[in-house]
Structure 1
Amino acid sequence: MRRLAGESSTPESHPADSRMATHYTYRQNLYREKLIQKIEAGVQRKAHFKSRNGCAACKQKRVKCDEVKPICGKCAAKGTTAACQYSNNNNDSEQSQQTLPIYQIQPKSLTLAGINQLANTIIPAELLLHHFYTHTSNRLMGGEKRQSIYRYHMLPLSISQHSLLHAILAVSARDLLCLHRHHQDCQHGYQQIKERQKLVLSFYHHYHRFATLYKDDLLRPPSTETANLAHSNAFLMNVLVVADPASTSYSSSTSNLWVTRKAKDNIDAAFSWIKVQAIHQTILEPYWKFVPSTFWYSVFVDDHHQQKDDQEQQEPSVNTTTGIRKIIIDHLAIICAIEQTSTTTPERNVYLSAYKNLCSILTTPIPRTSRTPSAQIFGSYIKFMIELNAHFVNLLRSKDEPALLMFSIWLNRMRRLDLWWMNERAGSECAAIWEFWRAGIT
């Protein structure tokens, strides 16, 4: 057909085409909104996998078994407990670990075959990454500058650095576990336990992969790229070891914590989170000369200036402190035999460095206006841990009373920062120390 003068060369779109395009866009937006809602609610899409590890009675009747041991739900309901038998093979032991309640999952389950596939099937990585971007980055610690680093520097770097990627996924899963627990605080049904268990499995899967790759990354030659990676990984490693669900208040008692253990190997395993904090500076030392060219530099400069101001004001603030904090500071000095003289040095008194950092914490007010503590406040608090000398760590490991006392005061102050990844650890460790002291008095 000949085109008339003045007509457009572009054919007119059919109204049906326009409606289809609008409908397609609507469907895309609807799917995206539902996906975001699922992430915000801490609910993951359900995965289906067939298990052959049911009891003999359910297999014979060809019905689904919930695989709860020693007696499954169906056999318990029907009273046929004698017929509820499980075969002894490797698959059974693996599957039984997957059906354990959340408070029974131990770090040794990291080595179980099949957890990799199970974790990826239950909680897709894209959901965890989206949650980290939208929520976890706001809840770690620090102000907008640090949150910007988490989102716009660490996340892009993780695309090419798998250790950092797994660290981010593990922290995101742990954050979801914390949110899910608070949302379901009054519900303890079977379905709620299963949902939490999925998050724990995902946490340990990514945590294990991160720990394996992290060791290899530390062998790479120092550079700007590896300095960015090392500082990012070191920060997230501290979060992960502190927030390990097997050693926090998810446990049914304080028996999992190092203070209440007696066997050397058991103590060392539970004490490892403190050692990781204490060697933080040693791990990062090879990368110091590259720090000015990293995306962390501006944050470190701000922290350094604030800490310098705190040090200049520390002695006057200690001397002018009144009330209960003044009593604590004075009694600590007596207990640790610290004399306020120029001749007192860390070499002469092993408690001195920890005492000074604790005094700085006790005299630093915590602002109540911010949702998360500032980087400067957090820096002054975490300084107590990352500057612990080896002698003090050994005293703490041997449950020396002055060291335990200072450590418990620090834990109690850390709880006031209200950090989701620290609160449970601090509460559990404090409870264990108090239980240890009560047992000693008894």
Structure 2
Amino acid sequence: MAQHQATKPFQAVFQLKLKRSPDDPLSPLPKPLVPRKAHTKSRRGCQSCKRRRVKCDELTPTCSRCAGLNQECVYGGLPSLTSKTSSLANSPQSTTPPLCPSTHGMTVKMLQTDLDHVLRAEAFSPSQNELEPVCVRVLQHFQAATSYTLGCATSSEVMQSHVAREAWNHPYLMHMILAISCAHQRHLGTVKSTSIEARYWQNGLQLHRQNLSTLQPGRCQESFDAIVAAIFLAVMYTFSLDELMTSGSEYDFAPMAAIGGFESLYWLFPGAFDPSSRWLPVLLSTDDKDGTFTNMRDGVSGLPVAFVDLCSLDDDSTAYNNPYHKIVRTLTPILRLQPDPGNFATLFACLGRCYGNLRPLLLRQDPIALLLLAYWLGTLRQVDQWWLTPRVKSKCAVIVAYLSGIGDPAITALLPFSAAAASPNANDLWKTLRMVAEDVI
């Protein structure tokens, strides 16, 4: 038996998969062909849906998808005015990008019509033949370039995203942003005429004054953001006018007067500012948690010795018995700041707090007040923006020349800092500044 099993041949089993015949009734039936759902094709959808590659229901002025996502809905070939163009904003040789050919269609005409409607709500209107797409181009330049050059990063973001929208509800604000945009184009050399720029600015100021005359303190909270934006734009625009003004003009101290407008906020809006304001982070940045920049304590503690001696200050000095006390007290903490463009709001708030004390002294060309003003102008060099630096340098140079001619040794000894601020190469600017600021009582 064992021998029989040993001689049994080896067997292997192979499994083969056989194809069934089409005639075999057990063959599975093929899947039925499902036709595609009928739909209409259109190229008239909004730009946002096209970028996301989703179907747009083409509702106007905002499609359902953009409304649900709370996004800007832009139709036609006009590029979004809120798209960032960093290279354009940062390059002094840049110009406004040309409009694409499709912008000559209905979208631009509708935008032009809406913009004309806003601009005509003014003290006097341009003639009909002046209604041309130039204002659309100027508005585009503001959103694509100018808004990124106005102050620190926070204020620039508010200008670009919020102020441009607020302007459609406040005609004076629309005129102002068009004026500052024209000034920026003039600085870049892309335009030479200033007549349109002057008209925008004149209309903006007239409408702003009319609006302020109708407001009641404590009852105009809805206008807070627009008023703050108008004050910032007024400061920036008046600084940008340096190349158009001659020395000795009545506008020599116009930027300082514009900065003084911030004091009106405390009169129009008594108490705490609106916590929902987009400008609140900028306004809060003007002081620290210790109140360093708003501490107006009496006496001379913490003040530079050089300023104390020059202004005849003592332990009994206050803002009421010495005209220079509040100015020196306000100026001292900003002299200790490290150079940083982010100090933009703090530097301007400094002058805003003491302009009421400084103005009568400047009107009679008080030498000490002019010296303190030159020190403040010198600190603005750290911001270094197109609308600010030319006027800062020229005004510092004028003040230094005037004070040097007086020949007062006490004032001449303190001129190196302000003179450095007026020169193109101010390498020792901050070294001299800190030496004066740290020599305190």
What TM-score do the two structures reach when normalised by structure 2? 0.60
What is the number of equivalent residue pairs in this alignment? 312
State the distance in 1 between where 2:205 and 2:281 align: 28
Do residues 338 (structure 1) and 317 (structure 2) align?
no
Do residues 211 (structure 1) and 184 (structure 2) align?
no
Partner of 1:364: 337
Do residues 378 (structure 1) and 319 (structure 2) align?
no
Do residues 349 (structure 1) and 322 (structure 2) align?
yes
State the distance in 1 between where 2:264 and 2:166 align: 23
State the distance in 2 between where 1:334 and 1:302 align: 31
Residues 11, 409 of structure 1: CA spacing in aligned structure 2 closer, same or farther, 3 A cutoff?
Answer: closer
Contact 2:143 2:160 in 1 (8 A): yes
State the distance in 2 between where 1:290 and 1:117 align: 47
Residues 45, 197 of structure 1: CA spacing in aligned structure 2 closer, same or farther, 3 A cutoff?
Answer: farther
Do residues 308 (structure 1) and 291 (structure 2) align?
yes
Give CA deviations for 1:218-244 in whole Å, capped at 9, x if unaligned.
023332212222112111111122222
State the distance in 1 between where 2:307 and 2:337 align: 17
Q: Which runs of 5+ in 1 are unaligned?
A: 19-24, 47-110, 182-194, 320-325, 368-372
Do residues 239 (structure 1) and 236 (structure 2) align?
yes
291-300 vs 153-162, greater mean Cα deviation: 291-300
State the distance in 1 between where 2:199 and 2:170 align: 17
Contact 1:125 1:169 in 2 (8 A): yes
Task: Please tell me the residue identity of whatever aligns with 2:149.
Answer: R
Aligned pairs for 1:17-416 (under 5 A) are: 41-42=94-95, 121=132, 124-144=134-154, 146-178=155-187, 180-181=188-189, 195-198=190-193, 200-221=194-215, 222-244=219-241, 248-249=242-243, 256-257=246-247, 261=248, 267=250, 269-282=251-264, 284-289=266-271, 291-293=273-275, 294-305=277-288, 308-309=291-292, 329-339=304-314, 341=315, 343-367=316-340, 373-374=341-342, 377-416=343-382
State the distance in 2 between where 1:151 and 1:429 align: 30
What is the deviation of 1:172?
Answer: 1.7
What is the deviation of 1:408?
Answer: 1.1
What is the deviation of 1:345?
Answer: 0.6
Contact 2:220 2:268 in 1 (8 A): no
Contact 1:170 1:207 in 2 (8 A): yes
State the distance in 2 between where 1:406 and 1:116 align: 49
State the distance in 1 between where 2:334 and 2:379 align: 8
Structure with greater helix percent: 1
What is the deviation of 1:365?
Answer: 0.9
Task: Please tell me the residue identity of whatever aligns with 2:95.
Answer: G
State the distance in 1 between where 2:362 and 2:305 align: 21
Give CA deviations for 1:56-79 in whole Å, capped at 9, x if unaligned.
xxxxxxxxxxxxxxxxxxxxxxxx
What is the deviation of 1:214?
Answer: 0.3
What TM-score do the two structures reach when normalised by structure 1? 0.60
Contact 2:287 2:346 in 1 (8 A): no
Cα RMSD between the aligned structures? 4.1
Residues 388, 6 of structure 1: CA spacing in aligned structure 2 closer, same or farther, 3 A cutoff?
Answer: closer
Q: Secondary structure at the match of 1:292?
A: coil
Task: Please tell me the residue identity of whatever aligns with 1:287.
Answer: F
Give CA deviations for 1:315-372 in whole Å, capped at 9, x if unaligned.
9xx96xxxxxx9xx33222111122x2x2211111101111222112111114xxxxx
Contact 2:146 2:184 in 1 (8 A): yes
Q: Secondary structure at the match of 2:387?
A: helix
Residues 307, 415 of structure 1: CA spacing in aligned structure 2 closer, same or farther, 3 A cutoff?
Answer: farther
Contact 2:285 2:346 in 1 (8 A): no
Q: Secondary structure at the match of 1:218?
A: helix
What is the deviation of 1:414?
Answer: 1.0
Q: Secondary structure at the match of 2:274?
A: helix
Give CA deviations for 1:92-115 in whole Å, capped at 9, x if unaligned.
xxxxxxxxxxxxxxxxxxx99979
Task: Please tell me the residue identity of whatever aligns with 1:10.
Answer: A
State the distance in 2 between where 1:385 and 1:428 align: 18
Partner of 2:61: none
Q: Which runs of 5+ in 2 are unaligned?
A: 1-31, 44-49, 51-74, 100-122, 409-441
Contact 1:116 1:205 in 2 (8 A): no
Deviating 4+ runs (over 6 angstroms):
28-31, 35-40, 111-116
Give CA deviations for 1:84-136 in whole Å, capped at 9, x if unaligned.
xxxxxxxxxxxxxxxxxxxxxxxxxxx99979965x64x72222222222322
Structure ID, larger Rg: 2
Residues 112, 311 of structure 1: CA spacing in aligned structure 2 closer, same or farther, 3 A cutoff?
Answer: closer
State the distance in 2 between where 1:39 and 1:287 align: 37
Contact 2:88 2:144 in 1 (8 A): no
